[in-house]
Structure 1
Amino acid sequence: MIAKLKGIIDELGIDHLVIDVQGVGYLVYASARTLGSIGAVGEAAEVFTEMQVSENDMRLMGFASGAERDWFRLLTSVQGVGGKVALAILGTLEPSELGHAIATGDKAMVARANGVGPKLAQRIVNELKDKVGGMDLGPAVAGGLAAVTNPAGASADAVSALQNLGFKPAIASAAVAQASNELGQDAEMSALVRLALKKAAK
């Protein structure tokens, strides 16, 4: 399994690049975001990779970071999300933005990617929101998501209450964060729990 390539960029295309590693040219498919940030032809580059194998095809997918590759693996674990759709999502949203969208149940943000309709966006959010806690969300939303995953005071108590009712930690945290945004930071725990239950049940 090829996990990473280091070499010189030989070619840049609309959806791929060719990277020369000690005389061997690897054709690597990548998102528009990765292709825009990886460098120019003739420059040295490092690409994190994932091999995708199907009945009649074998492709090497490339990513600018390990976090982006991890998100690709997670996205393609969802039914209906193939490599092309996963790259479209990662080309539209940074890993941190994607993590925030899933943690807060923002299916509209996920649906911004080409080839992702409302139903598929909803499935992605539903299937991945309990896995967001283990992902590298990036520094861009570290502060914002801290309030979602590690709330304090009444919010923390509300999250605990939802977990005691059987909701998974990420679902409870996202629901309470949405409720807190609507009710304000000074909301009482009972009010947060009531609204969060409605959010989590959707």
Structure 2
Amino acid sequence: MIAHLKGILTSAGIDHAVIEVAGVGYLVGASSRTLSSLGPVGAAAMLHTEMLVGEDFIRLVGFASADERDWFRLLTGVQGVGARVALAILSVLAPDELAAAVSRQDKAMVARANGVGPKLAERIVRELKDRVGTVALGVGGAAPAASGGVSGDALSALANLGFRPAEAASAVKAAEDALGPGATLDSLVREALRRAAR
């Protein structure tokens, strides 16, 4: 898994940027908020990343902060919210604004994003209500996503394999408890998959 990219911004578009790292240009999808935080073309840039893997694609999505990446993970865990919709939400709402909208159950605020209708906005605020504090605090069901690092990457790997967020979080937590803090990503994912299959 690629956790972040640090290099030179070589180009930027409406919904993506290209970051050159050691001679390799990485195409990274991003919210308009993240893209606006990048410096000019030719300047140094750093993005936190999430790797999306499907049957016929591998995509990198970039974020200006770890908080934004954690919210992306939470949003895409909601049924009906794909990467594009999650990025649309993060384009109009900063992580703290999104946290406030969810805690207040303000579906109208979430519905400001392109592609988010009233029903989907209501589902988002309802499903994420109990998890709104876990992003900042790193506790509860979203702990692996909040903590980032190896556990966050393991959670992302399981989510990409189709596990629901709660199932993935439970399996990764059990794997971490069994393997200890020094576990590698590969061993953590294997152990989590083994435990999830029980």
Above 0.5 in TM-score? yes
Question: Counterpart in 2 of 1:73?
Answer: 73
In 2, the alpha carbon distance for the partners of 1:119 and 1:55 equals 29
The within-5 A match list for 1:184-199 is none
Question: Counterpart in 2 of 1:118?
Answer: 118
TM (norm. structure 2) is: 0.68
Tell me which amino acid in the other structure corresponds to 1:102: V
**CA shift for structure 1 position 94:** 0.4
Tell me which amino acid in the other structure corresponds to 1:30: A
Deviating 4+ runs (over 4 angstroms): none
**CA shift for structure 1 position 115:** 0.2
Q: Secondary structure at the match of 1:129?
A: helix
Question: Counterpart in 1 of 2:13?
Answer: 13
Question: Counterpart in 2 of 1:87?
Answer: 87
**CA shift for structure 1 position 126:** 0.7
Question: Counterpart in 2 of 1:98?
Answer: 98
The within-5 A match list for 1:119-138 is 119-136=119-136
Structure 1 segments unaligned to the other structure (5+ residues): 138-202
Question: Counterpart in 2 of 1:63?
Answer: 63
Q: Secondary structure at the match of 1:39?
A: coil
- Rg comparison, structure with higher value: 1
The alignment of Structure 1 onto Structure 2 pairs a total of residues equal to 137
In 1, the alpha carbon distance for the partners of 2:40 and 2:80 equals 33
Question: Counterpart in 2 of 1:34?
Answer: 34
Identical columns (%): 68
Structure 2 segments unaligned to the other structure (5+ residues): 138-198
Cα deviation digits, residues 24-63 of structure 1 (max 9, x gap): 1100000000001111100001100000112222110000
**CA shift for structure 1 position 136:** 2.7
